[in-house]
Amino acid sequence: MSDPLATPLITNDATVLGLLSLILGFVFYSSNSQHPVWKKFYQYVPALLICYLLPSLLNTFGIVSAKVSQVDEVAKYFLLPACLVLLTLSIDLKAIGALGNKAIIMFLTGTVGVVIGGPIALLVISAMWPELIGVSGPDAVWRGMAALAGSWIGGGANMLAMKEIYGADGKIFTIMVTVDIVVANLWMAFLLYFAANHKRIDAKSGADTSGIDRLINKVEAFEREHARRPELKDFMFILAIGFGAAGFAHLAADFLVPFFKENYPNLEKFSLHSKLFWIIVLVTTIGLILSFTKVRQLEAVGASKVGSSFLYVLVATIGLHMDITQIVEAPKYVVIGLIWMAVHVILLFIVGKMIKAPIFYLAVGSKANIGGAASAPVIASAFHPSLAPVGVLLAVLGYALGTYMAWICGQLLRIIGS
């Protein structure tokens, strides 16, 4: 298995990208094959999940390392912004508003699940391993958990903010980063499975999916109405819009981040010092604005399909961060994370059942907390490309609430852990 300090077998990023592309090509070829073995396999295992899991094996067995490779950074900062623009071109903003308040309810439920899940996990673990409780120094478990709460409600910036606020030392912080990677990625695998089987799950639970169906039907009807055979110029226009908007967002972020750091240092808690935050907000806004123009007609020649291809590359690079051997490296702490996540998930299912929310709201409400703007649109798009903006909007809300709610969680953890 892989040693985090060892050099991976492949360090050339061009080769890494080639491997990921071959994996995605294999998955799409086999998932569309009429061979009975493949048809049976993909009947139970979603293709998108395999696009995520196979790259994780490259990392687990030391063939490729996400810590060495920069492919995931390229996907996050170049392909994700372009993808979001192309996926929002055909969106109907009024239809998003008509989705109602269930998305917000499920998002806030996920936030509450994180806030109360941490203290509950610490209480449970104190009965199993009492030695983890009562440490008062900077290496106290509760301090590291407070930092993790920042990540699971907002994102990386919120996690670092909580680390400083609660004085977690480097060792416990590193352990919690590992817990974050392991537990959050395991949960993402389940969410991808839910996305692939959402119709069956919603039918069984009796959830009202009419609002989501109307939004998807509008987008698909527009595509059918204006569909035509794409030409080379169409693909060049699509790339121009996608990467042009991404480039503008990068340029604007290069000005906005230093401006807010210098003039509004206190706004770091809202992630306004984060370049990725500004890039994602800007490209989503650009995409929504373009949806009211003639540029929307690019959807008729496959804009969302090009965007989705970028999305699959992003999913594969996210998979490179998963190393299944990490589960045994810090078992006690991973157990804390699993209990914590279980509280979050159980609460989501309870509230979702009460309000008859579709599994889409549960998945995106959860991922907008645990994952943020880099992965919430991935999960949303796994249900349908036109739903990506819903994931982005909820993730931005998570950035805003992250510091405050994580601080509350940290106070509860302090009471139990001190």
Q: What is the dihedral sign for C-alpha 153, 154, 159, 163?
A: negative
Query: Is the alpha carbon torsion for 282, 374, 74, 309 positive or negative?
Result: negative
Alpha-helix runs per DSSP H in 129-229 = 141-153, 156-166, 170-196, 198-205, 210-226
Instruction: Give the distance from CA 109 to its chain's centroid.
Output: 17
Distance CA 245, CA 150 (A): 30
In angstroms, the CA 378 to CA 51 distance is: 12
- Nearest Cα to 286, choosing from 323, 242, 329, 229? 242
Q: Which amino acid is at 32?
A: N
Give 152-211 pLDDT, tens digit per residue.
Answer: 887 666 676 678 778 777 677 778 877 887 888 889 888 888 888 888 888 888 887 877
Question: Among residues of the chain, what percentage have pLDDT more than 70?
Answer: 88
d(CA 241, CA 250): 14
Residue 335: which of 183, 186, 151, 230 has the closest Cα?
183
Give the residue ranges of the chain where pLDDT is below 50: none
* pLDDT for residue 135: 60
What pLDDT, in 10s, does the model give residues 202-255? 888 888 787 788 777 777 777 677 777 889 999 999 999 999 999 999 999 999
Q: What residues contact residue 150 under an 8 Å CB cut-off, 6+ apart?
A: 158, 159, 160, 161, 162, 163, 402, 403, 406
pTM: 0.71
Query: Quick one: pLDDT at residue 344?
Result: 95
